[in-house]
Amino acid sequence: MAEISKSYEPRDVEKKWYADWLKNDCFAGRVDASREAYSIVIPPPNVTGVLTMGHVLNNTLQDVLIRRARLEGKSALWIPGTDHAGIATQTVVERELRKQKLHRRDLGRDKFLEKVWAWRHEKGNIILEQLRRLGASCDWNRTQFTMDEHYSNAVLNVFTELFKRGHIYRGKRMVNWCPVSLTALSDEEVIMKPSNGTLFHVRYELVDQPGRFIEVKTTRPETIPGDVAIAVHPEDPRYAELLGKKVWRPLNRTKIPIIADKSVDREFGSGALKITPAHDKVDFEIGQRHHLPAIDVLNPDGTLNELAGPGLAGLDRFAGRKKAAELLKECGALLGEEAYSNNVGYSERADVPIEPRLTWQWWLRYPRIEEAKAAVRDGHIKFHPERWSKVYLHWLENIQDWCISRQLWWGHRIPVWYRKDVDREKLTEADLRDPAKVHVSLKGPADPENWIQEEDVLDTWASSWLWPFATMGWPDAKTMETAGIRYFYPTSTLVTGPDIIFFWVARMIMAGLEFMEPGKPLEQRIPFRNVYFTGIIRDNQGRKMSKSLGNSPDPLDLIEKYGADGLRFGIISIAPQGQDIRFQEERIEGGKNFCNKLWNASRFRQMSGPAGDNSSLAAILARLESSKFDADDHAILQRLVSTMAEVERCFREFEFSAAVQALYAFFWGDFCDWYVEVSKAKLQDESTKLNCLAIQDLVLRQTLLLLHPVTPFITEELWSQLGYGRDGAFLMRDVRLETAAEFTATLDTKGLSINRGLADSVEKLKQVVSQARALKAEHNQASRRDSSFLATAADADWAVLQANLAKLTRMCGAASIERRDKVDGAPAVVTPLGTLYLDLASSVDAGAEKVRIAKELEKLTQHIAGTEARLSNPAFVGKAPPAVIEGARKQLADQQAKRAELERLLAALG
RNA sequence: GGACCCUUAGCUCAGUUGGUUAGAGCGUUUCCUUGACAUGGAAAAGGUCACUGGUUCGAGUCCAGUAGGGUCCACCA
């Protein structure tokens, strides 16, 4: 065994072990009937993506779950992959083309797609490479891409099936149109943003009563040429006599009717609403009810077209708005303007206001809505934190059909062909189902020359909603068998952000229910059993991390600086359940420091004595001698067991940061700060040395196992260096972590049972040490081992002190601790095991000493008063549980004894 | 307009079913390079648990309300 270096250097260790794990196929998910299956599918990052802090959090959590599952003896599978990200990827490649002054139309569809594929092959795996640096133990041989042939096959299969089952239709409806991406978007891809605009007051002159006007307020005067009516509420007395009359539309002047519709809000503005069916969803519905035409005055790119009339045609919509206001002013129709703030829908991708636009699109009536609700409501799928289920259910209650077609080239082209002689603008629902007019299949028609394929592709989410089973080979029976879908599906846990609960989580549930194992009960068709929602990572000012703000650190820089384990440990420790995360680099630094502490504790063990047989838990236990156990041995084993139990609880309840904090407190606080320090005395004594080393070996072994899911690299390295592994075996793959219960039972059967009483007595020793150190600090004594202490103690207490004297002397920084019957004039502290005096050569400042003790006495007296008050309250004594009352009585007795001793000390000072 | 979340030490946050004197990390102050670790050790300072009521023997914890901050949903032009 080579000597361990003085500080932990992650770089080479990480590289070495990751390569070793890969070489030995440690990440492979295998069907193994003798083990419980545990599976996760990665939320596929965009192929265009680079690793963000969000990815780090999300994927570290998944890796933690997967690695813990392996240690628990489960057969674990983590499927990685990427998403083709239609709009984002197409935009990236189009931007490249623009540098060469080319547009995708210059290349044509096929040539353009070749370019995208080339880009994908060159750059599309960057993010997966970065995940490897993080230590992600994905089964890389199963890496998936949503545009892979078999995956595409699944997507198109689902389309044709859902079409057959009547869930998919084509319709001309109002959609959210992105004038930059030139495609329709789903409602979920539209973000409402408050915007400061202008509300224009416009008057429309009555045709048969010149000089009389009806007034409306609008934020969009440029759409006035598209007005086809003015609507008022049917019961609005102000306008009753105007119903049925006509007014002059002030732009592109023509006559339009005044109509009545109940959807008009009488309270808003003047109570009259201009109706522009082509440019507003409500107006469109009113238009439908009243059989009004829709006049579309916009081009797809958001410029005004010739229907907008001279003066406006050709302008961009925002320039057109200004111009329209000017034109209205010129003709006297503009009564005024007021500043106005309202919510405007923005395209999530392009970050520009969307246009409601009337277009032909493909729509999906979601399948299995009721089952999807039941799956979560009845607990077959558990959300963590649970409260997100309410958001989920609310969305399903109000669900709208999904616009699944996109006017893009990069994506799954819709497998629909139109007979050349049919007019697509006039296809009815019945025509769609007529194979003589429309062909829907994976392979296409037998006589392609007579057909034209649909140009549109599917929404990216209409492929990723199949992720949990399409990545396991669906729908091909043989591939599914190889992938082990019967074993690994439903997956165990999905780790994702609540921001895609509608986009992805809800839709995956519906897809799983619709397509998996038809006829089987719901709990076998759901895609996952648990969903863990991470928080959103914010910067230290609380802003979302984003590329444009430049406030997101590069995770790879952090790995360089703190090591992958440090980053992982840090990010998990600041990620409490369900709360957003304020990123602080200091916490990552803390992760690195923890790794260094672990490293050095192992180094201390190695330097403390010869290596024993560490090859198995049984081998280490065989080296323990219970007859040599002192209170500290019992205490550290007890804390080890309780930490194991706490970590188990944390994993059961998805409290990962609590698990990390428990491990930190145990290892740093209990092991390093106490046990290792007392070891220094125990190791001096040949009779206790070997047992003490074996305890250290045992604690280190269990700690490495518990920590491994969070800090995989350093634990694998130390596992190897400290001789825990057999040749060719890996901590991550070949070791099973005992449960706390199993561990305790093993100790019992080996005659190594933990003595609770002895273990608890360490608490008193710790207090003695802490108080002694404080006393020294109070009197400006350096913490070196050079102070003399005297003690007055009852026989029983002195016996405890004496039994631990060597350790205590060392821990207190004492040259000696001697018992006396009586000590006068020395500064003292009252400990649970007697009074401890600092034997100062120099004279003591009695005044300062009196102040210090008096202060402590005052504080104590307050507590005693509180305790006495409680105990003298008959209601408390009558109603509180006996254990609580007993505790209070004991506390009172201790406090009173301590008070008496402090009073005595005070009196002795004169 | 509806729903949900948050408010605890200078900062970022824990605090499980109500039960001794409310914790951690970072930061601050003092001391310490003692044979694992200065990426460290020891000690200390620092909190009317946002506010107001209520339930209870007992409330940071449960209930109601108020204030401030945040998120999501919603077709008010």
pLDDT, position A639: 95
Listed residue (A412, A347, A395) closest to A145, CA to CA: A412
Residue A2 banded pLDDT, cuts 50, 70, 90 = low
The neighbour count for residue A322, using CB atoms within 10 Å, is 14
CA closest to B27 C1', residue = A586
* Residue A173, H or E segment: strand A168-178
Separation of CA A586 and C1' B26 in angstroms?
A: 7
Q: How far is the CA of A858 from the C1' of B8 (A)?
A: 26
Say what the pLDDT of residue A196 is.
Answer: 83
Q: Which nucleotides of B are covered by protein (CB under 7 A)?
A: 3-6, 11-16, 19-21, 24-27, 30-34, 36-44, 56-58, 70, 72-77
Which nucleotide is closest to A766, CA to C1'? B42
The protein residue nearest nucleotide B15, judged by CA to C1', is: A658
Selection from A484, A482, A483, A508 nearest residue A494 by Cα: A508
Protein CA A573 to sugar C1' B16 (Å) = 18
pTM: 0.94
Query: What CATH number belongs to A596-754?
Result: 1.10.730.10
Name the closest residue (CA) to the C1' of nucleotide B77: A218
Comparing CA positions, the residue from A634, A653, A521 lying closest to residue A576 is A653
> Quick one: average pLDDT of A744-760?
94
- A345: enclosing H helix or E strand: strand A334-347
CB A588 within 8 A of CB A562: yes
**Residue-wise pLDDT tens digits, A7-43:** 999 999 999 999 999 999 999 999 999 999 999 999 9
The nucleotide lying nearest A772 (C-alpha to C1') is B43
Conformation bin of residue A654: beta by default, left when phi > 0, alpha when psi is -120 to 50? left
Q: How far apart are CA A205 and CA A245, in angstroms?
A: 11
Q: What percent of chain A has pLDDT over 70?
A: 99
Q: Which two tokens stand for residue A82?
A: 């990427």
Q: Is the pLDDT of residue A3 over 80?
A: no
CA of A898: nearest nucleotide by C1' is: B21
Which residue has better confidence, A824 or A293? A293
Numbered ranges of CATH 3.90.740.10 in chain A: 184-352
A645-673 confidence digits (pLDDT tens): 999 999 999 999 999 999 999 999 999 99
- Could you report the per-residue pLDDT of A754-793, keeping only the tens digit for each? 999 999 899 999 999 999 999 988 887 776 767 889 999 9
Q: Which CATH class is domain A184-352?
A: alpha beta
Q: Which CATH architecture has domain A771-909?
A: Orthogonal Bundle (1.10)
pLDDT at position A700 is 98
A856-891 pLDDT, tens digit each? 888 888 888 888 888 888 888 888 888 888 888 888
Distances (CA, A) of A425 to A5, A299, A359, A409, A421: 75, 18, 10, 21, 12
Is there a contact between A243 and A232 (Cβ–Cβ < 8 Å)?
A: yes
Q: 3-state SS string over A268-325? A: CCCCEEEECCCCCHHHHHHHHHCCCCCCCCECCCCEECHHHCCCCCCCEHHHHHHHHH
Q: How far apart are CA A850 and CA A856, in angstroms?
A: 10
- Which nucleotide is closest to A605, CA to C1'? B36
Q: Which nucleotide comes closest to A269 if you measure CA to C1'?
A: B77
- Rounded CA-CA distance A580/A168 in Å is 38
Point out the nucleotide closest to A188 (alpha carbon to C1′). Answer: B73
pLDDT of res. A32: 96
> What is d(CA A818, CA A798) in angstroms, rounded to the nearest whole number?
10
Tokens 């992105």 sit at which residue?
Answer: A178
The confidence band for A742, taking pLDDT boundaries of 50, 70 and 90, is very high
More confident residue, A904 or A637: A637
Provide CB contacts within 8 A for A236, sequence distance 6+: A264, A266, A271
Q: What's the Cα-to-Cα distance from A94 to each of A409, A427, A597, rounded to whole Å?
A: 11, 33, 50
The pLDDT of residue A1 is above 70: no
* Closest residue (Cα, C1') to B25: A587
For residue A684, which phi and psi values (nearest 5 degrees)? -70, -20
How long is the CA A670 to C1' B42 vector, in angstroms?
16
Q: Is the pLDDT of residue A843 over 70?
A: no
Question: Distance between CA A589 and CA A563 in Å, rounded?
Answer: 9
Gap from A277 CA to B1 C1', Å: 25
List pLDDT tens digits, range A605-653: 999 999 999 999 999 999 999 999 999 999 999 999 999 999 999 999 9
Residue A842 is predicted with a pLDDT of 59
User: Contact at 8 Å (CB) between A504 and A464?
Assistant: yes
Using the structure, give the distance in angstroms from the CA atom of A645 to the C1' atom of B15, rounded to a whole number.
Answer: 19
The DSSP call for residue A210 is T
Residue A306 has pLDDT above 80, yes or no: yes
Whole-number distance in Å between A265 CA and B13 C1': 47
Q: What's chain A's average pLDDT?
A: 92
Where is average pLDDT lowest: A150-164, A282-296, A474-488, A691-705?
A: A282-296
Residue nearest to nucleotide B34 (CA to C1'): A784
Q: Residue A356 above 60 pLDDT?
A: yes
3-state secondary structure A747-769: HHHCCCCCCHHHHHHHHHHHHHH
